[in-house]
Amino acid sequence: MRRIQGATIAALAGLILAWGCAGPEGSGPSLSGLTGLVPLPGAAQPAAAIVTKAGAKAVDASRPITPSEEYYIGRAVCARILAKYPLSQDQALTLYVNEVGRTVARKSNRPDPYRGYHFGVLETSEPNAFACPGGIILVTKGLVRKCADEDELAAVLAHEVAHIVNQDGINSISRARWSEVLTTAGAEAARQYGGVAGNLVTLFESSIDDVFKTIVVNGYSRGAEEAADREAISILTRAGYNPAALASLLGRMGSGGGGIMRTHPPTADRLAKVKSQSAAAQPGKMEEVRTKRFKEQKI
233, 277 in Cβ contact below 8 A? yes
Model confidence band, residue 129 (pLDDT cutoffs 50, 70, 90): very high
| Torsion sign (Cα): 79, 168, 211, 214 | negative
Please check whether residue 287 lies inside any domain of the structure: yes
- Residue 96, domain extent: 2-172+216-295
136-140 and 118-122 as β-strands: parallel, antiparallel, unpaired? parallel
Look at residue 279 and tell me whether its pLDDT is greater than 70: yes
Share of the chain above pLDDT 70, in %: 63
Q: Pick the closest to residue 147 from 117, 111, 116, 121 (CA basis).
A: 121
Domain presence at residue 291: yes
Average pLDDT, rounded, for the chain:
76
Q: What is the pLDDT of residues 141-189, one digit of tens each?
A: 999 999 999 999 999 999 999 999 999 998 888 665 666 665 665 554 4
Does residue 204 form part of some domain?
no
Q: Is 60 exceeded by the pLDDT of residue 20? A: no
- 80 burial type by CB count under 10 A (0-12 exposed, 13-18 middle, 19+ buried): buried
pLDDT digit string (tens) for 192-250?
444 444 554 565 677 788 888 888 888 888 899 999 999 999 999 999 999 999 999 98
Q: How many domains does the chain have?
A: 1
CA angle 36, 40, 42 (to 5 degrees): 160
Residue 264 lies in a domain: yes
Q: How confident is the model at residue 44 (pLDDT cuts 50, 70, 90)?
A: very low
91 has a pLDDT exceeding 90: yes
Q: Is residue 98 part of a domain?
A: yes
Mean pLDDT to the nearest integer, 52-65? 48
In a domain, 205, yes or no: no
Residue 7 maps to a domain: yes
pTM listed for this prediction:
0.76
Answer yes or no: is 200 within a domain.
no
